[in-house]
Structure 1
Amino acid sequence: MLKPFTLSPGLFATLAAGHGGAPAIHELRSLRLSRTLLLLTFIIDSCASARPVLRDWLATVAEAQRRDPRSCGLLSDPMVGAWAAQTARAIQRGSGPLDAHLAHLGAIAATAAHRAGVEASVTPAARDGWVVFPTAGRVSTSAVSGDSITLATAEAHPAWQPLRRLHPGCGVVLNDIDPYRGGHHVPAADRLSPAAVDGWREVFASAWDLLQRRLPARAAEISAGLRCLVPLEPDSPHAAQSATVGDAYGAFGATTPASPVAFAVDMVHEFQHNKLDALLTLHRLAVPGHTGRYFAPWRTDPRPVSGLLHGVYAFLGVADAWNGLRAEPSVEITATAEFAATRARVDVALRSVQASGALTPAGERFAAGMRRSLDGLLAVPLPAAVVRRAHRALDDTHRTWQRRNG
């Protein structure tokens, strides 16, 4: 008999406090893998009678898993999770063509077979002129001889475009090829030039160095969980942006960062969203259907309590990051001001969450964990003038929000 997936009270409390560490991150990865496997079962049960080849592809993945469990780490890949969720929703809606979604399982099977050394006749379908092998790369259809191509022959072809690693000491790839890498508020960028990749590697290396030196606990959990960064097309030349898609645990999207410091903070911010998205797979924190809307100091629109919870959790991590970065001499002044401003914003928003009456019992425990961490940050002594400026700015933001929204 299958047992339901659970998180221990200790891990739940650690995550609620805004942290996690490698053990919690690995547990969340297992949770999301469980979700992907359930979605895969739903996809097969819904469609295999009309497309028997789906069962053959699933059998190939299962044999690869049996032969070499590490080879099927790709089922935990963020983009494979995104594929499973998007495909399941498409089946549930019963609208639109499913062929491209379902054919992607062949690409997953082909990649798994290659990595585990399983002999299998699987030909991934082409999409938009490319044959994509999840977690590996893609090759132009011009490289396909006849109707078949394997990952081994694709990798040897001059038209092969592999995923590129961002940092030798961290397992994060720059994903600019996967068909399931979208879903952000701005489009995902297409294949980057070598010069653009070098730029990303440079800023990532500097940001990663900052995290390891000044925020080692954050670096450890990001290292355990972050697998994929999706470059985004900017919608403004003057502002860097980042975003997380809930289906893709272990990934986030970003435009070119303004600086290594800003990117280090962005990584903490987006990985907080990753953790909460994964936790929400298991625990409902807010009561469904609650109609209240609230002031979020980082947004211009009124937010539902679920969105406010996400913002509070993300910016609790940001406040912690700025506090740690105050020890970096080159950014001490900026980090101190940002820390003061961010903790004040989170305090206001968390008060609204806790007073909303919209939290489930699990949500109450989660909010209490955030409050304990935030109270610790609020107790950190800062120059009085910096604190006054932070609260004046927050008051100005609230007045502007009230004029806009009533």
Structure 2
Amino acid sequence: MVFPGFTPVPRHVLDLLARTGSDDESLELLLRGQRARRLLLLRLLLDATSAAPPAERSRFRAHWDLLEAAERSGPDAREAVHRGLQHPLVGPWARQALAGLTAGRPADLGFFGAVVVAAAVRSGLPFRTRLSTERGELHLPGLGALACGPDTDVSAHFDGAVLRLIPAADRVVTVRPQPEHGAWSTDPGWRAAHALPALIPGGRPVPLDDLGPYRHDAALGIHAATLDDVGRKRWHDAWSGPLTALLQHGHPHQAAETGRLLASLVPVAVPEEAGPLGYCSGTRRDAFGCVYSSLPPGPLGVAEMLVHETQHAKLSALTDLVTLHHAPPDARYFAPWRPDPRPLDGLWQGVYSHLALALWWQGYVLNTPDGFERKRGWAEYARCREQVTAALEQLAGSTDLTPEGRRFADRMIAAHRRLEEPPRHHRHRAQAYVATARELWGHRMRQKPNEPL
């Protein structure tokens, strides 16, 4: 396989990203960096299979050969293969497998075969291979999942149009891939992968990833949900209508930025503490392009969530290419949006996403007629603006920033200074909110001075 290198970040790109903006050049640079990291990770995993049992090592390398054959079968096929390897949830699996092999523990190398088969199907290359399962289900990313019993070997035959999966001598499951995403089968054990509509014209559908074992992360408290038809319809309803137009309130490239960076949405259950109208969302550094979220309330809530989480993805991708600071990991900072102390990385992520939210809410209120929704927008805008004010003071005062980090912080400060002044009563309420958060945080720190980050 061809492994692209890492590209330095030009100053004008750094400045644009610091203002939470983007363009085609900056997005392509971030995406190219993530593609290079993923391919490098897979190459390290290939090398590490020398420590795997002989049968597992042999099958892994056979699947690698199939991957390379699919990649060589044409330009469109190569793009399809690389898109399959860039699926966000391949990242958590590859890191876990590499960590297991390095530590001498068992690793789920069989999942690589499923990833390769899904990518090879999209490439159109006919093939025959064998797959293994560990959890009683064969999950083919972007196609679907087949219930087939634990520790089952599955034969996979693809003729260029139809995939046949043979988990047992008396069972042949015929799977028909659909354009762009998903695959259908009449077999009752098959569950098709689903996707949400593309956010931008000419864009790709957004996989609604409610299948597969690598959606969960117990360490991060992530327990992904498996949706029924009603749950998928609710996501489709919230995703439809004015969503793309709502995204544009932040900056003109916001919808294009989200459409290019968002590669997967993993639904999660609504936490009880969120209340009937609340939701939770997040990202994972090892699953670039994936957003974890419970269902926000309507298109406005979905747009707000996407603006927030896209900034986390952007900053994570950037900091894989540029070092912004050398702060010790145990340094603690007050973040007005969190009750717990944050390391500098966490503070920076929060400042960046809330600055983008402030810009987005500002655009929303300036384009919304008087009424309840505009009042709500002013309240949200004033709160985000005041939170960023409090957090930027700490960021600007840090002596741990690199020259690139100082430049980045200065451009964030300049963008913040250009924000509109909110109405006085909204500003006073936001200031009181942040003051109360600071007081509660100080009390918590006095009670638990050594609380782990």
- Tell me, yes or no, whether TM beats 0.5: yes
Q: Does the aligned pair in 1 maintain the 2:89–2:215 contact within 8 Å?
A: yes
Q: Percent of pairs identical after alignment?
A: 29
Question: What is the root-mean-square deviation in Å for CA atoms of aligned residues?
Answer: 2.5
Which residue in the other structure is 1:58 paired with?
A: 64
Determine the C-alpha separation between the residues in 1 that align with 2:267 and 2:389. Answer: 32
Q: Does the aligned pair in 1 maintain the 2:138–2:148 contact within 8 Å?
A: yes
How much has 1:174 moved relative to structure 2? Answer: 0.7
How much has 1:331 moved relative to structure 2? Answer: 1.7
How much has 1:136 moved relative to structure 2? Answer: 1.9
Equivalent pairs counted in the alignment come to 401
Establish whether residue 364 from structure 1 lines up as the match of residue 406 from structure 2: yes
Which residue in the other structure is 1:7 paired with?
A: 9
Larger RCO: 1 or 2 (CA < 8 Å, sep 6+): 1
Which residue in the other structure is 1:106 paired with?
A: 113
Q: Of the candidates 79, 85, 107, which is equivalent to residue 70 of structure 1?
A: 79
Determine the C-alpha separation between the residues in 2 that align with 1:320 and 1:220. Answer: 16
Determine the C-alpha separation between the residues in 2 that align with 1:80 and 1:278. Answer: 16
Q: Does the aligned pair in 1 maintain the 2:134–2:150 contact within 8 Å?
A: no
Q: Does the aligned pair in 1 maintain the 2:249–2:361 contact within 8 Å?
A: no
Question: Is there any run of 5+ residues in structure 2 with no aligned partner, and where?
Answer: 166-174, 176-184, 447-453
How much has 1:173 moved relative to structure 2? Answer: 1.4
Q: Does the aligned pair in 1 maintain the 2:135–2:150 contact within 8 Å?
A: no
Which residue in the other structure is 1:308 paired with?
A: 347
Q: Of the candidates 178, 181, 194, which is equivalent to residue 164 of structure 1?
A: 194
Determine the C-alpha separation between the residues in 1 that align with 2:299 and 2:79. Answer: 33
Give 1 or 2: higher helix fraction. 1
Provide Cα deviations, 1:150-173, integer angstroms capped at 9, x if missing partner: 471252342322221112555211
Provide Cα deviations, 1:66-96, integer angstroms capped at 9, x if missing partner: 212222111222112332233223334x054
Alignment CA distance shift 1:2-1:210 (3 Å)? closer
Alignment CA distance shift 1:212-1:349 (3 Å)? closer
Q: Of the candidates 203, 214, 222, which is equivalent to residue 180 of structure 1?
A: 214
Alignment of 1:348-363 (within 5 A): 348-363=390-405
166-175 vs 135-144, greater mean Cα deviation: 135-144
SS at match of 2:266: strand
Question: Is there any run of 5+ residues in structure 1 with no aligned partner, and where?
Answer: none
Q: Give runs of ≥4 in structure 1 deviating > 6 Å.
A: 142-146
Q: Does the aligned pair in 2 maintain the 1:171–1:223 contact within 8 Å?
A: no
299-308 vs 119-128, greater mean Cα deviation: 119-128
Corresponding letter in the other structure for 1:385: H
Q: Does the aligned pair in 2 maintain the 1:187–1:233 contact within 8 Å?
A: no
Establish whether residue 208 from structure 1 lines up as the match of residue 248 from structure 2: no
Provide Cα deviations, 1:315-341, integer angstroms capped at 9, x if missing partner: 111111211221233621111111111
230-239 vs 247-256, greater mean Cα deviation: 230-239
SS at match of 1:149: strand
Determine the C-alpha separation between the residues in 2 that align with 1:323 and 1:2. Answer: 39
SS at match of 2:91: helix
Q: Does the aligned pair in 1 maintain the 2:110–2:132 contact within 8 Å?
A: yes
Corresponding letter in the other structure for 1:395: A
Corresponding letter in the other structure for 1:136: L
Which residue in the other structure is 1:345 paired with?
A: 387
Alignment of 1:215-364 (within 5 A): 215=250, 216-236=252-272, 238=275, 239-289=278-328, 291-326=330-365, 327-329=367-369, 331-364=373-406
TM-score after normalising by structure 1: 0.91
Give 1 or 2: higher strand fraction. 2
SS at match of 1:25: helix
Determine the C-alpha separation between the residues in 1 that align with 2:5 and 2:207. Answer: 34
TM-score after normalising by structure 2: 0.82
SS at match of 2:130: coil
Provide Cα deviations, 1:321-370, integer angstroms capped at 9, x if missing partner: 21122123362111111111111111110110121212222221221221
Which residue in the other structure is 2:172 paired with?
A: none
Corresponding letter in the other structure for 2:388: V
Corresponding letter in the other structure for 1:75: L
